[in-house]
Structure 1
Amino acid sequence: MADRSQPHHQLQVHPQYGGGAKGFQQHRQQQGPSTGKVLAVMALLPVGGTLLALAGLTLMGTVIGLLVSIPVFLLFSPVLVPAAVTIGLAVGGFLTSGAFGVTGLSSLSWVLNFFRQTSVPEQMDLAKRRVQDAAAYAGQKTKDVGQEIQSKAQEGKRT
């Protein structure tokens, strides 16, 4: 049974658009752009045009500067190329040294935190027990091998 206290939602179809998608498209074509869109275009057009003009001026300045500086680069290239290589290698060396230093410090920090988190007496007790177990195992194995050799030696004497 449906609950009668809840309102029923019904879909109402209005035939004012002429029916279907074609009528809706005709309605959209008649409406045109909204006032907000027109104002946005009017406000952004001068800003976009100014930025585009500045980009063009910057490009022209860069090209002119490059054309002027090419002869200077060609004239001083025997000095500039080794200088650029030297500076590049020096910067690479400093960056590599810094990376190794940061890696070393982080490694030492990790080791220090690891030792701080683990309690040394418990680790020492565990290590002592492992050594004792290994010694007992080696002693038992030695004893077994010794008895086996002794039994083989006695068998050799009997035959």
Structure 2
Amino acid sequence: MADRPPERGVAAILRRLVDRSPNSSQVLGFLTLVVSGAILLFFAGLTLTATVLGVIFLTPLAVLTFPLWMPAAAVATVVTVAVVLAGGSGAAVVAAVSWGYKYLRGGHPIGSERLDYARSRIADTAGHVKEYAREYGGFLRGRIKDAAPSA
């Protein structure tokens, strides 16, 4: 084919629009997005309106009845916190005992490699400290004898 001269003006713009026009699934997806967004925006506005009206009309009732329901709410809060804390502590104890049992029976629960590594590092450090103390202690014994010949 022979090279065509470059298009200019309105024809070029229309050609670009046709070349880049979306297919039907893209148009349907965009319309779905627009409709869903509009519905969600409507419900957000409705929720905000209901919340503001509820605060306006129920605030005087809450202020007047505060001495009645506040002690009950405080007790309910304390009881709820205590139950959740007890349950969480119980679950933590069960998990720790289970982990320890598996570890002591020779299993490899999650994190046991780190515990073994830490134990070996502590043992190595203790060995080095013991050797250093032996060397340094012998040095001090010799110095004490020099300072106090009768010792």
Structure 2 length normalisation: TM-score?
A: 0.50
1:82 has 2:71 as partner: yes
2:49 corresponds to:
60
2:93 corresponds to:
104
Cα separation, 2, equivalents of 1:116 and 1:56: 60
Q: How many residues align?
A: 100
1:100, CA displacement in angstroms? Answer: 1.4
Corresponding residue to 2:22 among 21, 34, 37: 34
Structure 1 length normalisation: TM-score?
A: 0.48
Cα separation, 1, equivalents of 2:31 and 2:96: 59
Aligned residues with identical type, % of pairs: 27
Pairing of 1:8-157 with structure 2 (within 5 A): 18=6, 28=16, 31=19, 33-36=21-24, 37-117=26-106
The 1:89/1:30 distance shift into structure 2, 3 A limit, reads: same
Cα separation, 1, equivalents of 2:5 and 2:86: 73
Structure 2 stretches of 5 or more lacking a match?
7-11, 108-151
The 1:34/1:79 distance shift into structure 2, 3 A limit, reads: same
Structure 1 stretches of 5 or more lacking a match?
1-14, 19-24, 119-159
1:141 corresponds to:
none
1:30, CA displacement in angstroms? Answer: 6.7
Cα separation, 2, equivalents of 1:45 and 1:38: 11
Over alpha carbons, which structure has the higher Rg?
1
Could you say what the CA RMSD is over the residues aligned between the two structures, in angstroms? 3.3
Cα separation, 1, equivalents of 2:52 and 2:5: 57
Secondary structure at the counterpart of residue 117 of structure 1: coil
1:73, CA displacement in angstroms? Answer: 0.8
1:94, CA displacement in angstroms? Answer: 0.9
1:117, CA displacement in angstroms? Answer: 2.4
1:84, CA displacement in angstroms? Answer: 2.1
